[in-house]
Amino acid sequence: MAKIYITGASSGLGWYMALEFAKRGHQLALSARRLDKLNELAELIKTQSDVSVHCYALDVCDEAAQQAILQQAKNDLAGLDIIIANAGIGESAPIGKGSFDSVRATIEVNVIGAFATLHHGVALLREDGGGQLVAISSVAGERGLPGAADYCASKAALTSYTESLRLECWNENIDVTLLKPGYIDTPINQGAASRPFLVGPEDGAKALVDAIESKCKRRFIPSWPWFIVARFLRWLPGRLLAK
């Protein structure tokens, strides 16, 4: 079974992926800012399986802490096979409205935090001879949308970074997987005015874990209908999206 590290596991997709991975017998190292929620998740997992679960308090914006926690997770599990950059926030507002602090926070967590996970993660995997890196981006990264500029931009940045990483790892024993979820019913999107093609968190997590285990290069989650919708979205005339 694989040894898996997940950032942002205290809620949302990270929480449900951890449950799904544990159900399949994988060993886990979980990080998030809220250690109490991670411990709650670990206790829940222990009632359902006998896998090892290690929890770490981590703010992904702290790059030095990211490196240290990754090393600690590797030590605790005697190696890491899969590193998942999942931590993210979804606060957004129309450009020029509200506080710029929320924009800064989105970029720091979704971009700098995710980049740091992948940056230190690939170095660790290279030391050990290989493994898999996973980035949780979003369909929102396919195009800038009104009212969500910072979130869309953050996910577009993560998409490009991950695709560059894949090319840099092309001749190494390192798989790079980019996943782009649509609307999965988690707190990050529960305040959205519209959530088309919504799926439950358990089904969403199962699709994510299936994609990770398949070592695919890139996949929309769920694949249907988002691989069609995303393509259509890129070419949709702006006047149909404008507010």
**Pairing status of strand 82-85 against strand 53-57:** unpaired
Token look-up 């694989």 returns 2
Alpha helices in the chain (DSSP H): 12-23, 35-48, 63-77, 100-107, 114-128, 149-168, 201-214, 223-235
User: How many CB atoms within 10 Å of residue 208?
Assistant: 26
Phi then psi for 217, rounded to 5 degrees? -80, -40
Enclosing H/E stretch for 57: strand 53-57
User: Contact 176/133 with Cβ under 8 angstroms?
Assistant: yes
Q: Which one is catalytic: 5, 56, 151, 161?
A: 151
Residues constituting the chain: 243
16 in active site: no
Take residue 89 and report the two structure tokens written for it.
């926030």
| CA-to-CA dists, residue 30 to 15, 46, 140, angstroms | 9, 14, 25
CB 135 within 8 Å of CB 85: yes
The residues assigned a catalytic role are 151
